[in-house]
Amino acid sequence: MLLNKNLSKKSIEEGEVFLIDKPLKYSSFHIVKELRDFLKNKFKLDKLKVGHAGTLDPLATGLLIICTGRMTKKISDFQNLDKEYIGTMSIGSTTPSYDLETNIDKTFPIDHINEKLLNNAKKKFLGTTDQFPPIFSAVKKNGKRLYEYAREGKEIDIKSKKVTVNKFDLNRISMPEIEFEINCSKGTYIRSLINDFGKELKSGAHLTSLRRTKIGSNSINNSITINEFVENFKS
């Protein structure tokens, strides 16, 4: 949904849906808070329900669906939609967080990897499979986030869950870097998928960039940044 300048106090409270392009290094919570604070101030609201329909890691960019007022009741409907991502991975090395949040901890050979091996490996992840979330994630175990255990250096049993990958394309291969595109179900951790893909190659891999481009039929092409949102309503 492109920005509607006919927003009003009534429409915000009754419920609006905004497609926001989250920038790098901002948390999804930060974007929600910034939008809520702006709308409350702009429309003189004492309180306002605002929520997002699917977290993006701070190191990921792209589409966030943000709902206000009564439309927050529709958040679970948006969350259940399939997601689409583009990104890059680095083959031959891993990090504890499976991305650039932490430093490389292990390196692996890549000389044996060719296009045939890459294509055979990616096919293993199509369809419904069991996936373990990264230890550096917000998944809760015994009331505590997994990343809290990770930062304390504690080992903990993590349960797998079913995820579905509808598409896993390797768009550009320039070893050790590979550009990819993925369409997947709710709850899929792209970081885990890339880490597992590295293992399938008898090597290692970690995520180096990630951008969410679609949630269901909602496209990043129809989104705006939080700064553009604020600028549009400055009077």
Q: What is the 3-state secondary structure (H, E, C) of 109-158?
A: CCCCCCHHHHHHHHHCCCEEEEECCCCCCCCEECCEEHHHHHHCCCCCCC
The two most distant CA atoms of the chain are separated, in Å, by 62
- Domain count for the chain: 2
pLDDT at 2 over 60: no
pLDDT at 137 over 80: no
CA angle 30, 32, 35 (to 5 degrees): 105
Residue 138 has pLDDT above 80, yes or no: no
pLDDT in tens, 111-134: 999 999 999 999 999 999 999 888
Residue 94 has pLDDT above 70, yes or no: yes
Residue 104 has pLDDT above 80, yes or no: yes
Looking at the structure, tell me whether residues 141 and 159 fall in a common domain.
yes
Q: Are residues 223 and 112 in the same domain?
A: no
Q: Based on the domain organization, do 68 and 183 belong to the same domain? A: no
Whether 178 and 223 share a structural domain:
no
- Decide which of 143 and 19 is more confident: 19
Question: Is the distance from CB of 136 to CB of 98 less than 8 angstroms?
Answer: yes
Q: Is the peptide bond before 96 cis (omega within 30 degrees of 0)?
A: no
Note the pTM of the prediction, 2 decimals. 0.91
Whole domain around residue 76: which residue ranges? Answer: 9-80+218-232
Instruction: State pLDDT tens for residues 3-45.
Output: 555 788 899 999 999 999 999 999 999 999 999 999 999 999 9
Same domain, 133 and 165: yes
State the Cα–Cα distance between residues 135 and 208, nearest whole angstrom: 17
Is the pLDDT confidence value at 109 over 50?
yes
Q: Are strands 93-94 and 106-107 parallel, antiparallel or unpaired?
A: antiparallel
**Mean pLDDT over the full length of the chain:** 90
Distinct helix (H) and strand (E) counts, the chain:
7, 13
d(CA 191, CA 208): 9
CATH number at residue 73: 3.30.2350.10
The reply to whether 124 falls in a domain is yes
Higher pLDDT, 232 or 150: 232
- The confidence score (pLDDT) of residue 233 equals 75
Strand partners, 177: 90, 174
54 and 117 together in one domain: no
- The catalytic site residues sit at 57
Distance, CA of 165 to CA of 54 (rounded, Å): 17
- Report how far residue 87's alpha carbon sits from residue 180's, in angstroms, rounded to the nearest whole number: 5
User: Are 188 and 96 in a shared domain?
Assistant: yes
Based on the fold, state whether residues 67 and 165 are members of the same structural domain: no
d(CA 180, CA 169): 5
pLDDT of residue 147: 56
In angstroms, the first-to-last Cα distance of the chain is 22
Reported confidence tier of residue 1, pLDDT bands at 50, 70, 90: very low
